[in-house]
């Protein structure tokens, strides 16, 4: 619990006070951003995020399709420059290596996203817990009001 409390909140607050402190979605997002930014990214994490962003883009997809089309066209139709004839063994090797490199990097980036989602879920829990405590307080107040109304009738 103490690991996820942002530096902006005093450490001496009780759990109930912390839950009451988080009020709006805007504040929730601000606190979540502080938690995520408090953990600096390593070079590997930055690289994984960049690679995932690049390999998951339409630009990359367009470039790889263009490259594949050029490779196949050259090796099928241009007779004097065939370096990888029809079953395209070398081309297959390159695509397999690309997939083998991409997969673990994308998984690393997904693990980071999972961590961010977990922190967001913790914040959602805190907000829900705060709402539950406020509802309980309102129910107690309503019971007191009901009792006062009953007493005034008698």
How much is the average pLDDT of 115-126? 88
- Give the pLDDT confidence score for residue 9 in this predicted structure: 44
The per-residue pLDDT of the chain, averaged, comes to 80
53-95 pLDDT, tens digit per residue, is 888 888 988 999 999 888 888 888 877 777 887 788 888 989 9
Measured CA to CA in angstroms, residue 54 lies from 36, 59, 114 at distances of: 22, 8, 19
Number of domains making up the chain: 1
More confident residue, 48 or 35: 48
Burial (CB count <10 Å: 0-12, 13-18, 19+), residue 15: exposed
User: By residue range, what is the domain housing residue 51?
Assistant: 2-153
What is the C-alpha to C-alpha distance for residues 31 and 28, in angstroms, rounded to an integer?
5
In this predicted structure, which of 43-57, 86-100, 114-128 has the lowest mean pLDDT?
A: 43-57
Six-digit token string for 119: 């922190």
- Give the pLDDT confidence score for residue 33 in this predicted structure: 66
Q: pTM to 2 decimals?
A: 0.49
Q: Which residues lie closer than 8 Å to 6 by C-beta, 6 or more apart? A: 31, 34, 35, 38
- Give the pLDDT confidence score for residue 143 in this predicted structure: 94
What is the C-alpha to C-alpha distance for residues 54 and 47, in angstroms, rounded to an integer?
10
């Amino acid at each position: 619990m103490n690991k996820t409390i942002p530096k902006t909140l005093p450490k001496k607050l009780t759990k109930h006070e912390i839950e009451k402190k988080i009020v709006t979605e805007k504040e929730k997002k601000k606190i979540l951003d502080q938690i995520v930014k408090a953990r600096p990214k390593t070079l590997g994490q930055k690289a994984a995020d960049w690679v995932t962003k690049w390999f998951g883009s339409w630009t990359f997809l367009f470039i790889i399709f263009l490259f594949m089309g050029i490779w196949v066209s050259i090796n099928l139709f241009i007779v004097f420059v065939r370096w990888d004839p029809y079953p395209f063994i070398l081309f297959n090797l390159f695509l397999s290596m690309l997939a083998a490199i991409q997969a673990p990097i994308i998984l690393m980036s997904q693990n980071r996203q999972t961590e961010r989602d977990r922190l967001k879920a913790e914040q959602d829990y805190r907000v829900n817990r705060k709402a539950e405590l406020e509802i309980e307080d309102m129910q107690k107040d309503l019971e007191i009001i009901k009792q006062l109304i009953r007493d005034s009738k008698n």
